[in-house]
Amino acid sequence: MDLSFLAIQALNGLSSASSLFITACGLTLVFGVTRIVNFAHGSLYMIGAYTAATLVPRLLELHFGPVTFWAGILASAIIVGLIGVLIEVLLLRRIYGAPELFQLLATFGVVLVVQDLAILVFGPEDILGPRAPGLRAPVEILGRRFPSYELVLIAAGPIVLGLVWLLLRKTRFGVLVRAATQDREMIAALGVNQALLFTGTLFLGAFLAGLGGALQIPRVSAHAGMDLSIIAEAFVVTVVGGMGSVPGAFLAALIIGQLQAFGILIFPKSTLVVVFLLMAVVLAIRPYGFFGRPEAVGGTHAVGIASSKRSPYAGLIALAVIGTGLSLPLIGDAYMLKVATEILIFALFAFSLQLLIGVSGVVSFGHAAFFGLGAYGAALSLKWFALPMEAALPAGLLLAAAGALLIGGFVVRLSGIYLAMMTLAAAQIIYAVAFQWVDVTGGDNGIVGVWPSAWASGQVPFYLFTLALVTIAVLLLMRIINAPFGYALRAARDSEARAEAIGLTIRRHRWLAFTISGAAAGLAGGLYAFSRGSVDPSLLGIPTSVDALTMLLIGGIQTVTGPLVGAGFLHVLRDQIMPLTSLWRLLLGLIIIAIVLVFPRGLVGTVRGWGEERS
């Protein structure tokens, strides 16, 4: 490994750091002012890339010379900035005061909507943009060729940093942005036109995202899916740098760029893991990143389960539901049973999350980790140790519980948005391991041939088996929620100060809750693996976590039965609608947004609300 190679590798690292910083800078600015972690930031980046890859070739055809290329990049970024304004006015403006879970989900709804819209507008195929005129030829560095465009990118990062610095220091807008980042109340007190400030910030943030995306077009083709990969990295950058801190983002991007460039030499197959591991380590040592400040946790306790009078019919309803479940094999066909099986599995998955979110107020954004660990645990023990299903399921459950125990140890030290980001990072690490540890997990291929034992292989027996396990697990969890342990979790959620003052060891309780919840999700994951006959890394992905959150949200976070209803509703909807349209994600995104805006209490909560109003 000679010097010139190391130098080139360092330059590669710098250029990806630059690109990353430009995008992450927008994210962190938006967070600083609005306190919203904007999942859709990655979508804006994607739109920037698509727009530029479509627009710039048209402009180049006009033959105005190299300047048209850069004009096209800038125009694309401005277009994206305007889209950002649109998102602010239509959506964000309405959820500034909402609990962070709702904010995260609503912006994720935008991600889903944009994914389908982008395909509608730009077509399904990947678009590689033109190369920058005048920068096609490489430059020679220490006897090696290096793309000259990358040098431009390397310069772009510091330039953007400088311009943003000037903007923040020298303009009234910048002063306001900084003030808002420091102290939100102050801005309100100053009588500043907040709406304008927030809209302006969103324009700036979206502009930077668009710029980051547009600058990529000569080297990366614009494609669906770039939104989630960039947002995951941008999250890492902002969290490591400290949410809201621009210099922090720059430093973090530099470190991550080099880590990736050289990490590929040392751990060629664990590039994804390295990045998220960095984030986990930084958060474990400095819970608020390099330059971040503790966030006043606000308003989260507004959502969650509250004590309510036990309905006299509760037992009857439960019996009726179980009875219907038991008699389903008599009336349903094989496919209906398959759907019912999956609904049960997702109900358990969502319900396990309810223990964290609704009961403990711990907003986990990476619950897929435990679902996936359960599935992989079962599949791996089947593949490597030839365990039968009866042993593989507990093995999956144990793996998930162990994972939750480990991750929980880090997570319960954090709160609010940092906690959500940490769970997300943890899930991404496990995703990356499953994805890149090909020898053991099969990587992208996953593991196939995960079929139930002979006695349970028919649709009816497997359904009944699932019904039994899920019913037991849910009843146990309900018991826990109503037991002192569940109350202690709620106590800590309602008021940490009070909970501590009456001697509750909040972290220990949350840690145990995390583990129990992980175990339950793991059981669901194991069942899912056997239901589908295979596992693959997508079980661990962000969309799976969001699925669980969406089910919770649809059902209603304040209710115990919400997640069960939510799982049923979402799954049936998906099953009915997905075959009919290629716009399923658009629809799902709109549903999520609508629920956040219109029915924040979810189906069960809303119905119960009507009942209470009448009485």
Return the residues of window 100-119 that contact other proteins according to CB under 8 A: 119
**What mask of x and - would describe binding to other proteins in positions 60 to 99, judged by CB under 8 A?**
----------------------------------------
Smallest separation (angstroms) from other proteins to the CB of 446: 5
Give 590: exposed, middle or buried? Use CB within 10 Å, 0-12, 13-18, 19+: middle
Do the Cβ atoms of 28 and 417 come closer than 8 Å? no
- Alpha carbon 9 to its chain centroid, in Å, reads 30
Distance CA 604, CA 76 (A): 43
Contact set for other proteins, span 318-377 (CB under 8 A)? 333-335, 338, 342
DSSP E strand boundaries for 529-582: 534-535
**Among the listed residues 10, 85, 89, 128, the single contact to other proteins using CB under 8 A:** 128
Residues 547-586 within binding reach of other proteins (CB under 8 A): 575, 579, 581-583
Which 526-545 positions form the footprint of other proteins (CB under 8 A)? 528, 532-536, 538-539
**219-248 binders of other proteins (CB under 8 A):** 219-221, 223-225, 229
In the bound state with other proteins, the residue whose beta carbon lies nearer, of 285 and 497, is: 497
Assign 292 to helix, strand or coil: coil
CA atoms within 13 A on the CB side of 573: 15
Residue 378 tokens, joined: 């079962």
- Contact residue for other proteins among 61, 125, 183, 390 (CB under 8 A): 125
Here's the x/- map for other proteins, 480-519, by CB under 8 A: it reads as x-xxxxxxx-xx-xxx-xxxxxxxxx--xx--x-------
Closest to other proteins by CB, 327 vs 482, is 482
Per CB under 8 A, the list member of 435, 463, 465, 569 interacting with other proteins is 435
Sign, CA torsion 354/357/362/368: positive
Helix, strand, coil distribution of the chain in percent, nearest 5: 75, 0, 20
Residues in the chain: 615
For residue 604, which phi and psi values (nearest 5 degrees)? -65, -45
Shortest separation between residue 334's beta carbon and other proteins, angstroms: 4
Looking at residues 10 to 39 of the shown chain, list those that interact with other proteins (rule: CB under 8 A). 12, 15-16
Amino acid 541 reads G
Out of 66, 123, 294, 611, name the contact with other proteins by CB under 8 A: 123
365 or 371, CB closer to other proteins?
371
Q: Do 510 and 492 touch, CB atoms closer than 8 A?
A: yes
The window from 61-69, 188-196, 215-223, 465-473 that contacts other proteins (CB under 8 A) reads 215-223
Binds other proteins (CB under 8 A): choice among 93, 131, 178, 413 = 131
CB 557 within 8 A of CB 595: no
Per-residue binding string, other proteins, 442-481, x by CB under 8 A, is -xxxx-xx-x-----x-x-------------------xx-
CA distances from 150 to 15, 16, 164, 246, 259 (A): 6, 9, 21, 23, 18
Site for other proteins in 262-291 (CB under 8 A): 264, 269, 271
If we measure between CA atoms, which residue out of 261, 318, 250 comes closest to residue 479?
A: 318
Q: What is the DSSP letter of 462?
A: H
Stretch that binds other proteins, among 143-151, 343-351, 398-406, 604-612 (CB under 8 A): 143-151
- Closer Cβ to other proteins, 491 or 592, answer by number: 491
What does the per-residue mask of binding to other proteins show for 394-433, with x meaning CB under 8 A?
A: ----------------------------------------
> Rounded to the nearest 5°, which phi and psi values hold at 534?
-160, 160
In one-letter notation, the amino acid at residue 604 is: V
